[in-house]
Copies of this chain bind each other. A is one copy, B any other.
Amino acid sequence: MSRELDQTDWRIIAELQEDGRLSFKQLGTRVNLSPPAVAERVRRLEESGVIAGYRADIDPVAAGQPLSAFVQMRCATGRCLLKTTRADDFPEVVEIHKLSGSSCSMLRVRVTSMAHLEGLFERLGEHGEMNTHIVLATEYEGRAVQPPTEEARTVTRSAGWSA
């Protein structure tokens, strides 16, 4: 389906992650390509699903939701959050990941206040054991997707027990 991405594709991806509203002309200038050439590449990246869309980046703090937390759920049998509720029931839950290990899922929640967070935890707690971690500060998130480094291919194998 998706052909290998070359260096120019990755430069385009990097630029569009920094500014998703660049015109083909502006984008072409930054990657040393003519407007029609970048337009064709971008079209292919969109078609292959590498570029899933273009979004405004909303700052939750400025938007009035300064508090964030991680919640590991270990759902009780028959009460699993994923099977007994819908997304609309918990607008505060902005991410849901199914996990390996002892927890069944990891949630990321955003709330307006501590009181709001308290209420949310009580509602979530009805579905099983929780392990919560309040975020004190976010160093960064949404870091740009980058081309695989050389380390990704030449992985250092651990010594011992090797065949």
A-side interface residues toward B, CB under 8 Å? 2, 5, 13, 16-21, 48-60, 62-65, 68, 70, 72, 82, 87, 91, 93-101, 103, 105-106, 108, 110-113, 115-116, 118-119, 122, 133-146, 148-149, 151-153, 155-156, 158
Contacts and interface: CB of A to CB of B under 8 A. Distances in A.
Given A54-B19, A56-B51, A122-B158, A95 B141 contact: yes
Given A49-B59, A134-B101, A111 B152 contact: yes
Contacts of A87: 140, 143
B94 A143 contact: yes
B138 A97 contact: yes
Given A135-B98, A139-B97, A91 B149 contact: yes
